[in-house]
């Protein structure tokens, strides 16, 4: 029996009749065509599907669309609008590019959504805090080195928006 | 203009990836598509007597349930993966030659099981439904009458007398069994040896774990009678060849499009059963068919890496100089013959960077009831390095020679280049001694004792190790590049090879921008679509920039030459007097000047075009040296890598930012295999014991330190860009250097070896057993641990 859900996604109201078992990630991808949120596993391990729900990062493969009725969801497509830099990117998006924090790009939306949620809670995270926070996001390409560098660089850029250069992290 | 090569330029492709606009196969919606799910075999080895699809066929939303009988009835064949690659030295020859004494077994790989299941997870039926959920629900309704057979999964067990036989045409489960090297010289070298070490090394089975689960969309164009496949892979051209061959149609009746691909690493080179099945089914049901793997399926069906067992013997003189080496290499091929590349790569680099005067290799491919194996990053080379570097550390200890010193005594000196190794590869360049020196200095090797003491004071064991490496880039020996320069100010590169995350849109543009003296922004790269690309080998084996880059340089030179002719005509001057400088064609007699685009406008087609193709081998030998330093908590067995240093001679890095990333990623995958990754199956039944990210240890961010890497270059003259390759640099020495460092850390307990992967449990058990066997630790004793 389909049920109706109403979810605000990237600032816009959306609604659909969905099967009760529809996951939030499938709602975003299949109903709204927001394919930036990826499915990388089926055990809530990889984090490719991370979005923000009411300001906190969640794995959208482990939330039913029905559970999210009434929630405000931000996806990778809507992240920049929450904190645009001069280029119209979120500083963490720009930092991922500038620090080469991605290769194949598949884990990247989840990494950025997860990392940006960290920066909402902690404006100046240490390497250790970043690595600890990102433990639930798997990347097979980068070895995480440049991802950590990107989060540091974005944190710095968001604290001091005038100096967006990537900063080296201590070994 | 110019000066792009060598600059750490952020990638041009990244804007779409960081904003969620990457376009992977599963992101593509095709009108009127139905969805496929596969019913899969739960046994590793079983006969199928009957498949009953009647209940599934009438389940809600189901359009069709298809089996291999339907596929064969349509006149199609099994996939031929061409598992024997071209030889590393002479690409016209096969790496393994079939003779009456040394036959080679290769069987067609059907997209679904016909009569006999050969590994857990093989597809037995394909359910097509209106939604994926409906197809999946119906897959559970397929009833199969299996007769389970005894299974064999361990390589050497499969060769044993009386082992279950997996294929009729492969007695003893042997695919190939061939020997290389100078046997007489090697036997003689062993006769005079002071020390002969014999060890067996098992290189564990690795799951590819690319983050994008495989996905495929089949579309049949009835009007044109053309099959279309949309699927991420490491090369559309090869996929197309295998697809056409399997369907039994001329190649021009197939087209393959490869959109953004979420990681390659080797196993996505050859065609997969599901890609073939959706393409066929699209014609059969008259609708586009889409399938996307879930992660559990990926663990069962993505071609797997490593799985190599090596019996090695090494002969030394009193001073630790290597006299000879003998290995027997057993590659676990799995249940289908997909690729013999890891074994062929492995044997050629058996002696790696060391001057081993004589060596032999027996190379054997063994069928087992496991998922087929394929090249995984490094593909046989990390396995070879693991063997020789472990043996060197063991010999150093036995002969009481310093670990650095024994390497110094055996590394190939620069003066010996070009050096033909005992298995026939000729290294043209590489400063092996210099690499090690730089790496040791950078890692502060000499300061290690102080750091070890500091760790001991905290109850930790600390270890350090060094490993040298040389890569042998091989791969598909054919590539093609087309460059079009248009009068509208745009340059188009069409490349046979394609990226799975290596940033070709950036690096190829850097090369062309420099060679045509144009702005990088004018350049666009087109790849991964066989409607445009006809020839090319795809991304693997460090080949894209080596082969593709060389062709880019040649095509640019050709275009400049064409433009020069046009400019000369416009200036009414001889070509030889036309100057091409700072992007402009000029002549001293006039102040007129033409850019390459303005020159293109002079052409009758308003476009300059050049197509360059290469067939054969273009060798280059990436080399370097890694140092790993780690700490082990003896109470938990947990290893933390605290420093990882690497000096890499990748040749000229076209984009150091990207090459850095390649090295980081390679190291990380090596750390994974060394410390946590191991695809476990029950040796008795072949049942998969770790089939998800819940129980397979893929490394996370908190497993790593920052990596300390730097480049060096001893130039190769083998290609105009001096490219050697960086994709496999990180991983090649990684398992060797990490396990050697673990063994070094555990040495106070008298521990001499630990198998891959050195998981906390394995380390803890090894320490526990050693403690029991040896009540009091030796000198350089392990600290007594007190509560911190």
Residues of chain A numbered 97-116 and touching chain B (CB < 8 Å): 97-98, 100, 102-109, 112
Closest CA to B484 of B562, B545, B547: B562
> Do B20 and A48 make contact, defined as CB atoms within 8 angstroms?
no
Distance in Å, alpha carbon of B674 to nearest chain A alpha carbon? 14
Buried residues in B317-356 as b, exposed as e (16+ CB within 10 A):
eeebbbbbbbbbbbbbbbbbbbbbbbbbbbbbbbbbbbbb
Which of A2, A64, A102, A105 is the best residue to mutate to test the B interface, defined by the most B CB atoms within 10 Å of its own CB?
A105
The residue of chain B nearest to residue A87, with distances taken between CA atoms, is B15
Residue B380's region, left for phi above 0, alpha for psi from -120 to 50, else beta, is left
CB nearest A77 (choices: B19, B133, B669): B19
Binning chain B into helix, strand and coil, the percentages to the nearest 5 are 30, 25, 45
Closest CA to A167 of A91, A58, A108: A91
| Chain A contact set for B10 (CB, 8 A) | 97-98, 100
Ranges of beta strands (E only) in B235-288 are 254-257
Closest CA to B463 of B637, B642, B638: B642
3-state secondary structure B643-668: EEEEEEECECCCCHHHHHHHHHHHHH
Whether residue A114 contacts residue A47, with contact meaning beta carbons closer than 8 Å, is answered with yes
Distance in Å, alpha carbon of B658 to nearest chain A alpha carbon? 7
Q: How far apart are CA A98 and CA B531, in angstroms?
A: 34
Distance in Å, alpha carbon of B325 to nearest chain A alpha carbon? 34
Q: Which two tokens stand for residue B736?
A: 């060797």
Q: How far apart are CA B185 and CA B194, in angstroms?
A: 17
Q: How far apart are CA B32 and CA B27, in angstroms?
A: 15
| Chain B contact set for A34 (CB, 8 A) | 20
Q: What is the DSSP letter of B304?
A: B
CB nearest B702 (choices: A77, A97, A132): A132
| Chain B contact set for A23 (CB, 8 A) | none
Q: Which two tokens stand for residue B404?
A: 């650095």
The residue of chain A nearest to residue B643, with distances taken between CA atoms, is A171
Which helix (H) or strand (E) segment holds residue B345: the answer is helix B341-348
Measured in whole angstroms, how far is the alpha carbon of residue B549 from the centre of its chain?
20
Mean pLDDT, chain A, rounded, equals 94
Q: How far apart are CA B707 and CA B628, in angstroms?
A: 10
> Do A43 and B692 make contact, defined as CB atoms within 8 angstroms?
yes
Residues of chain A numbered 39-78 and touching chain B (CB < 8 Å): 39-43, 45-46, 48, 75-77
Name the β-bridge partners of B195.
Answer: B316
| Chain A contact set for B503 (CB, 8 A) | 103
A118 — contact with chain B (CB < 8 Å)? no
Buried residues in B168-184 as b, exposed as e (16+ CB within 10 A):
eebeebbbbbbebbbee
Chain pair A-B, CB pairs under 8 angstroms: 189
CB nearest B501 (choices: A38, A39, A105): A105
> Please, is B775 exposed, middle or buried when counting C-beta atoms within 10 Å of its C-beta (0-12, 13-18, 19+)?
exposed
Angle among Cα B139, B296, B120 to the nearest 5 degrees reads 75
> Do B263 and A140 make contact, defined as CB atoms within 8 angstroms?
yes
Report the pLDDT value the prediction gives residue B783, as an integer from 0 to 100.
Answer: 44
Q: How far apart are CA A22 and CA A43, in angstroms?
A: 16
CB nearest B10 (choices: A77, A97, A127): A97
CB nearest A138 (choices: B27, B264, B700): B700
Largest CA distance in chain A: 56
The residue of chain B nearest to residue A89, with distances taken between CA atoms, is B19
Sign for the pseudo-dihedral over CA of B726, B732, B735, B739? negative
Sign for the pseudo-dihedral over CA of B76, B77, B79, B84? negative
> Do B24 and A38 make contact, defined as CB atoms within 8 angstroms?
yes
Measured in whole angstroms, how far is the alpha carbon of residue B103 from the centre of its chain?
27
B591 Cβ neighbours under 8 A, 6+ residues apart: none
Reading across the β-sheet that carries B174-181, which strands appear in turn? Answer: B174-181, B359-367, B322-334, B305-316, B195-206
A132 — contact with chain B (CB < 8 Å)? yes
A134 — contact with chain B (CB < 8 Å)? yes
A81 — contact with chain B (CB < 8 Å)? no
Distance in Å, alpha carbon of A99 to nearest chain B alpha carbon? 7
Instruction: Kindly give the parts of chain B with pLDDT less than 70.
Output: 1, 775-788
Angle, in degrees to the nearest 10, between helices B432-442 and B403-410: 160
CB nearest B706 (choices: A36, A37, A169): A169
Which of B11, B18, B704, B729 is the best residue to mutate to test the A interface, defined by the most A CB atoms within 10 Å of its own CB?
B18
Q: Which two tokens stand for residue B583?
A: 């992007």
CB nearest B704 (choices: A42, A93, A143): A143
> Do B502 and A37 make contact, defined as CB atoms within 8 angstroms?
no
> Do B133 and A39 make contact, defined as CB atoms within 8 angstroms?
no
CB nearest A104 (choices: B15, B261, B706): B261
Report the pLDDT value the prediction gives residue B669, as an integer from 0 to 100.
Answer: 97
Q: How far apart are CA B1 and CA B587, in angstroms?
A: 20
Q: How far apart are CA A119 and CA A92, in angstroms?
A: 9
Whether residue B32 contacts residue B288, with contact meaning beta carbons closer than 8 Å, is answered with yes
| Chain B contact set for A21 (CB, 8 A) | 133
Q: How far apart are CA B758 and CA B641, in angstroms?
A: 12
Report the pLDDT value the prediction gives residue A1, as an integer from 0 to 100.
Answer: 85
Check whether the bond before B757 is cis (ω within 30° of 0). Answer: yes
Whether residue B123 contacts residue B144, with contact meaning beta carbons closer than 8 Å, is answered with no
Closest CA to B691 of B205, B308, B155: B205
Whether residue B85 contacts residue B344, with contact meaning beta carbons closer than 8 Å, is answered with yes
Q: Residues in chain A, how many?
A: 171
| Chain B contact set for A137 (CB, 8 A) | 700-701
B784 Cβ neighbours under 8 A, 6+ residues apart: none
Q: How far apart are CA B356 and CA B359, in angstroms?
A: 7
Q: How far apart are CA B291 and CA B231, in angstroms?
A: 10
Confidence of residue A165 (pLDDT cuts 50, 70, 90): low
Q: How far apart are CA B81 and CA B119, in angstroms?
A: 17
Report the pLDDT value the prediction gives residue B52, as an integer from 0 to 100.
Answer: 98
Over residues A55-74, the mean pLDDT reads 97
Torsion of CA B701, B703, B708, B711, to 10 degrees: -70
Q: Helix or strand or coil: residue A154?
A: helix
ipTM surpasses cut 0.85:
yes
Q: What is the DSSP string of B177-244?
A: EEEEE-HHHHHHHHHT-SEEEEEEEEEEEE----SS--EEEEEEETTTTEEEEEE--S-HHHHHHHHH
Q: Residues in chain B, how many?
A: 788
Alpha carbon separation from B208 to B295, B300, B474, B669, B698 (Å, rounded)? 11, 11, 20, 10, 10
pTM flag (> 0.90): yes
The residue behind tokens 């433009």 is B563
Name the β-bridge partners of B461.
Answer: B632
Q: What domains are defined for chain A? A: 3-77 (3.10.20.30), 80-159 (1.10.150.120)
Whether residue A29 contacts residue A37, with contact meaning beta carbons closer than 8 Å, is answered with yes
Which of B12, B13, B15, B17 is the best residue to mutate to test the A interface, defined by the most A CB atoms within 10 Å of its own CB?
B17
């Amino acid at each position: 029996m389909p049920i109706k859900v109403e979810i605000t996604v990237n600032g816009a109201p959306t609604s659909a009749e969905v099967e009760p078992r529809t996951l939030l990630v499938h709602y975003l991808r299949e109903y709204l065509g927001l394919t930036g949120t990826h499915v990388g596993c089926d055990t809530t391990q990889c984090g490719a599907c991370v979005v923000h729900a009411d300001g906190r990062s969640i794995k959208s493969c482990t939330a039913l669309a029905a559970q999210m009725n009434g929630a405000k969801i931000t996806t990778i497509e809507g992240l920049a609008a929450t904190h645009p830099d001069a280029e119209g990117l979120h500083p963490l998006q720009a930092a991922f590019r500038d620090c080469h924090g991605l290769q194949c790009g598949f884990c990247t939306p989840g990494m950025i959504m997860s990392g940006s949620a960290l920066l909402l809670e902690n404006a100046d995270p240490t390497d250790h805090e970043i690595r600890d926070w990102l433990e639930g996001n798997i990347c097979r390409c980068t070895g995480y080195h440049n991802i950590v560098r990107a989060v540091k660089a974005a944190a710095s850029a968001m604290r001091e928006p005038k100096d967006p250069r990537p900063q080296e992290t201590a070994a | 203009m110019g000066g792009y090569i060598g600059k750490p330029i952020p990638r041009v492709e990244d804007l779409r990836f960081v904003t969620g606009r990457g376009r992977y196969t599963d992101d593509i919606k095709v009108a009127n598509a139905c969805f496929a799910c596969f019913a899969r075999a739960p046994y590793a080895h079983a006969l199928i007597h009957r498949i009953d699809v009647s209940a599934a066929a009438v389940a809600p939303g189901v359009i069709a349930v298809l089996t291999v009988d339907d596929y064969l009835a349509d006149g199609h064949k099994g996939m031929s993966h061409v598992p024997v690659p071209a030889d590393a030295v002479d690409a016209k020859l096969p790496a393994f030659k079939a003779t009456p004494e040394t036959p080679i077994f290769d069987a067609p790989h059907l997209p679904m099981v016909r009569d006999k299941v050969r590994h857990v997870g093989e597809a037995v039926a394909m359910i097509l439904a209106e939604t994926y959920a409906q197809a999946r629900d119906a897959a559970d309704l397929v009833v199969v009458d299996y007769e389970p057979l005894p299974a064999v999964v361990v390589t050497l067990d499969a060769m044993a007398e009386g082992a279950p036989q997996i294929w009729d045409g492969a007695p003893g489960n042997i695919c190939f069994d061939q020997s290389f090297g100078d046997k007489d010289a090697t036997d003689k070298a062993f006769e005079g040896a002071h020390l002969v070490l014999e060890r067996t090394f098992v290189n564990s089975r690795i799951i590819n774990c690319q983050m994008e689960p495989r996905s495929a969309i089949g579309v049949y164009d009835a009007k044109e009678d053309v099959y279309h496949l949309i699927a991420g892979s490491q090369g559309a051209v090869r996929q197309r060849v295998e697809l056409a061959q399997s369907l039994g149609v001329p190649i021009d009746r197939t087209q393959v499009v490869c959109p953004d691909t979420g990681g390659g690493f080797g196993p996505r080179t050859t065609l997969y059963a599901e890609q073939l099945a959706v393409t066929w089914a699209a014609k059969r049901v008259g609708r586009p068919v889409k399938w996307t793997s879930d992660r559990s399926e990926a663990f069962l069906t993505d071609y797997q890496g490593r799985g190599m067992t090596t019996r090695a013997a090494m002969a030394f003189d009193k001073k630790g100089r290597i006299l000879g080496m003998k290995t027997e290499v057993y590659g676990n091929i799995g249940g289908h013959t997909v690729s013999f590349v890891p074994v062929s790569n492995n044997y050629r680099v058996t002696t790696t960077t060391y001057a081993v005067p004589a060596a032999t290799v027996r190379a054997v491919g063994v069928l087992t009831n496991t998922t087929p194996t394929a090249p995984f990053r490094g593909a046989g080379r990390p396995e070879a390095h693991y063997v020789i570097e472990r043996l060197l550390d063991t010999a150093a200890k036995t002969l009481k020679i310093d670990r650095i010193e024994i390497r110094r005594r055996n590394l190939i000196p620069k003066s010996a280049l070009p050096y033909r190794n005992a298995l026939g590869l000729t290294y043209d360049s590489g400063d092996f001694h210099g690499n090690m020196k730089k790496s040791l200095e950078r890692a502060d090797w000499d300061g290690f004792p102080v750091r070890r003491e500091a760790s001991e004071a905290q109850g930790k064991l600390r270890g350090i190790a060094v490993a040298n490496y040389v890569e042998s880039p091989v791969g598909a020996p054919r590539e093609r590049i087309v460059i079009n320069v248009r009068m509208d100010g745009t340059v188009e590169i069409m490349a046979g090879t394609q990226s799975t995350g290596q940033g070709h849109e950036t690096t190829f543009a850097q090369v062309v921008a420099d060679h045509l003296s144009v702005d990088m922004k004018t350049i666009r790269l087109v790849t991964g679509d066989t409607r445009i690309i006809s020839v090319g080998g795809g991304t693997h084996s460090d080949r894209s920039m080596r082969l593709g880059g060389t062709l880019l340089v040649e095509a640019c030179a050709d275009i400049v030459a064409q433009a020069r002719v046009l400019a000369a005509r416009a200036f009414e001057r001889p070509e030889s007097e036309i100057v091409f400088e700072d992007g402009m064609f000029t002549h001293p007699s006039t102040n007129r000047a033409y850019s390459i685009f303005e020159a293109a406008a002079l052409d009758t087609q308003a476009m300059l075009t050049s197509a360059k193709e290469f067939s054969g081998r273009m060798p280059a030998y990436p080399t370097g040296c890694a140092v790993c330093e780690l700490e082990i908590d003896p109470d938990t067995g947990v290893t933390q890598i605290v420093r990882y240093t690497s000096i890499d001679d990748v040749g000229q890095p076209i984009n150091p930012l990207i090459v850095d990333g390649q090295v980081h990623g390679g190291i990380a995958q090596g750390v994974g295999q060394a410390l946590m990754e191991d695809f476990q199956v029950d040796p008795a039944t072949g049942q998969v014991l770790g089939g998800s990210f819940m129980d397979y240890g893929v490394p996370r961010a908190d497993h790593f330190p920052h990596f300390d890497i730097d480049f060096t270059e001893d130039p190769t003259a083998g290609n105009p860009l001096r490219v050697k390759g960086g994709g496999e640099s990180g991983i090649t020495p990684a398992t060797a250097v990490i396990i050697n460092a673990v063994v070094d850390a555990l040495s106070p307990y008298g521990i001499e070896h630990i198998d891959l992967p050195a998981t906390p449990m394995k380390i803890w058990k090894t320490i526990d057993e050693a403690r029991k066997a040896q009540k009091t630790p030796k000198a350089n004793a392990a600290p007594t641990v007190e509560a911190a």
